[in-house]
Homo-oligomer: A and B are copies of this chain.
Amino acid sequence: LSNANWVNDLPRLDVLKPEQEETVHDRAMRLLEEIGLKVGYAPALELLRAAGVRVDGDVAHMERGFVLEQIAKAPKVFDLRGRDRRKDVTIGGNNLALSATGGAPFTLDPDMGKRPARMADYLDMVKLMHVAPQLHVQVSGVVEPDDLPVRSRHLDMDRAIIRYSDKPYFAVGATAEGSADAVELASIAFGGREAIRSAPVLMGIVNPVSPLQYDDRMGGSLVAYSEGGQCVVLMPYIMTGGTAPLGFAGALAQSTAESLAGAALVQVVRPGCPVVLGGFVAEMDLRSGQPMFGTPGSGAVMLAMGQMARRYGLPQRGGGAFTAERQLGVRATMESVMTIWPTLLSGANLLLHAVGWIDGSLCTSIEKMADDLQFIHAFEALLANRWDLSEEGFAMDAFREVGPGGTFLGAANTLRHFREAAAAGDVPRYTWRELLDRYEDPGIDPAIEEAMDDFIARRRGELERVGA
């Protein structure tokens, strides 16, 4: 494998018995058939109607046969292309790609604490994500720069990813127009519309507005990414007791229904367009009404969602280093590590929010990015582990040399393997500043940079006129 992502050969942890898996599938399908999916973006509703789906008002009732027929058109495995082709990633199968957190309006400044994020913070984070080989997919919107105009900010954020890094990326656009901008910017940077359709370069995250609803913004974003042939990550973010029922069975069925419905819609727009099933179930703290993260229940749901994705033969998203804590420390670390394990064991193909998440996604912490990366190394080593069960691997000569009660310190076998063992060694330690010091500008073709800037200048003008 030449691609940059990890390969996860660990056994999968199926937490649902076969008949339970069947029941969850049946309930998810019943939700789509009986309760239906509210679609707030009129063109999407029309596409579904034209495809033969029964539509009542703004609610589409997809039959299970339709859903399964559509999602069968999506690729089981696909590549995302980087500007540096050595950084291509494969999504699906036993591949696992990681990315940092995203979407937070604040940063947890190592010196000043929580404050609105600025473009300078954003650029530091982009550079840190570029430096870390464990972060395979860049995140446009790793934090929201408060010092840029909100209408055109998505263009600046995507541009910075393309300019200062050379990895595939998550685009930040989340409306019909914003996502169309993302596709256009990518087509400028990666050789045109047709080039990126045949070899996608970015992923768009589409969150249904749960329960069972894709609204105008999200429906529009889904259609724009699909038309552009870019990967759509269907990511229900649901909170039990609020946007889903209490208890995990309903949340699991609902999440499955929502992500499958989105995946089916993508295939209606553009058959064969890559999709990733998502699902992010947080429990509501019933004392405060706030979501909790890193809880055992959400870990169990993640395992079940991975199992369902294998049933459907589609890539799955999991993650991440979640915590509701507002400060770095013991408890934040505990919750963060707790959630990475179920992701790995669920067989998820994308590990989002792998590093940097703090304060229930309100903040991105560059300090925690570096902390989390250290334990990410440990997972990398665990996955890379290969048992050498040869005679040499068992060191039988060393046992003969040393005998019972002896020491292996100076044994010939030990000296022979000393160098490789020292290289495998411990999990490294570093700070975010040390990581940033390693940043080297990958450079970009000046013509591409100029073309991007021309497009952004034009769009900025248009968007500001709309706003005025």
User: Interface residues, chain A, CB within 8 Å of chain B?
Assistant: 10-11, 13-16, 20, 23-24, 27, 30-31, 34-38, 59, 209, 211-213, 240-250, 253-254, 283, 285-287, 292, 294-297, 299-300, 304, 328-335, 337-338, 341, 345, 371, 374-375, 378-382, 385, 387-390, 393-396, 398-400, 402-409, 411, 413-414, 417-418, 421-422, 424-427, 429
Inter-chain contact B414/A241, CB cutoff 8 Å: yes
Do A243 and B407 touch across chains, with their CB atoms under 8 A apart? Answer: yes
Contact partners of A30 in chain B: CB under 8 A: 396
A397 to B190, CA, bound (A): 49
Closest 5 CB pairs of A and B: A245-B395, A212-B404, A296-B382, A38-B404, A296-B381
| Contact in complex: B10, A11 (CB < 8 Å) | no
Tell me if A389 and B20 are in contact (CB < 8 A).
Answer: yes
Q: How far is the CA of A304 from the CA of B287 in the complex (A)?
A: 42
Q: Are A396 and B27 in contact (CB under 8 A)?
A: yes
Determine if B242 and A395 form an interchain contact, defined as CB atoms under 8 angstroms apart: no
Contact residues in B for A394 (Cβ distance below 8 Å) = 27, 245, 249-250, 253
A390 to chain B, nearest CB (A): 8
Q: Chain B's nearest CB lies how many Å from the CB of A422?
A: 4
Given contacts A35-B404, A245-B413, A295-B426, 6 further A-B contacts (CB under 8 A): A211-B404, A213-B404, A246-B395, A246-B414, A296-B380, A297-B381
Q: In the complex, A10 Cα to B342 Cα: how many Å?
A: 12
Residues of B within 8 A of A27 (CB): 394, 396
Report if A10-B13 is in contact (Cβ < 8 Å); known contacts: A35-B403, A285-B426, A333-B333.
yes
Partner of A374 from the list B246, B331, B375 (CB cut-off 8 Å) is: B331
Q: Are A421 and B240 in contact (CB under 8 A)?
A: yes
Minimum C-beta distance from A241 to chain B (A):
6
Determine whether the beta carbon of A388 is less than 8 Å from that of B211: no
Kindly report which residue of chain B lies nearest to residue A429, judged by CB atoms. Answer: B331
Contact B59 A404 (CB under 8 A): yes
- Distance (Å) between the CB of A9 and the closest chain B CB? 9
In the complex, A417→B36 CA distance in Å?
24
